[in-house]
């Protein structure tokens, strides 16, 4: 299957958006994240068990060779997985990363990178997510990182 055919297939399989209440809760949480604001990342999709985060190319998120820095790539991947998991939990829950492993498959360069977090198994306490990061240049998408993450569900602290 060609890459373009694969992209069309993926677009047809895009999940529906989460409910307005879940989207509002996840977006409010994302907006409180200082690191995502500092990086200039945007939450672009909130669906049941899935979240996408886009990070535009800027000199501040690159390393010395001009590629996206592995730290920025890993941060948006970790965050996308966390919000994918959060979409499946009640309003009184939060998630924290227990561990994650990421493989950097190719240097990340392009107009932006996009992290996709997808829940593989949601449990009462632990949830496992698949993490993927794509470099996007014009219409071309290339997988540059993938990994797996385990999250723990916790009760939201009272403020």
Taking 60 as the threshold, does the pLDDT of residue 72 lie above it?
yes
Return the pLDDT at 50.
98
Residues 6+ apart with CB under 8 A from 141: 3, 7, 114, 134, 135
Average pLDDT over residues 80-92: 96
3-class secondary structure, 110 = coil
What structural domains does the chain harbor? 3-155 (3.10.129.10)
pTM for this model (two decimals)? 0.88
Instruction: Judge whether 136 and 113 are in contact, CB under 8 Å.
Output: yes
The tens digit of pLDDT for each residue in 128-159 reads: 999 999 999 998 999 999 999 999 999 987 76
Average pLDDT over residues 61-65: 97
Instruction: Give me the residue label for tokens 């694969």.
Output: 6
CA distances to 27, 50, 87, 139 from 3, in Å: 31, 22, 29, 11
């Amino acid at each position: 299957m060609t890459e373009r055919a694969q992209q069309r297939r993926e677009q047809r399989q895009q999940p529906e958006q989460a409910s307005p209440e879940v989207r509002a809760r996840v977006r409010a949480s994302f907006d409180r994240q200082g690191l995502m604001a500092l990086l200039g990342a945007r939450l672009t999709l909130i669906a049941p068990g899935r979240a996408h985060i886009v990070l535009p190319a800027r000199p501040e998120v690159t390393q010395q060779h001009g590629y996206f820095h592995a730290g920025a790539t890993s941060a948006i991947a970790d965050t996308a997985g966390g919000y994918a998991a959060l979409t499946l939990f009640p309003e009184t829950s939060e998630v924290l990363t227990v561990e994650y492993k990421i493989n950097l498959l190719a240097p990340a360069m392009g107009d932006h990178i996009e992290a996709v977090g997808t829940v593989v198994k949601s449990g009462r306490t632990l949830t496992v997510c698949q993490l993927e990061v794509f470099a996007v240049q014009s219409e071309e998408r290339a997988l540059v990182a993938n990994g797996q993450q385990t999250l723990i569900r916790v009760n939201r602290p009272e403020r």
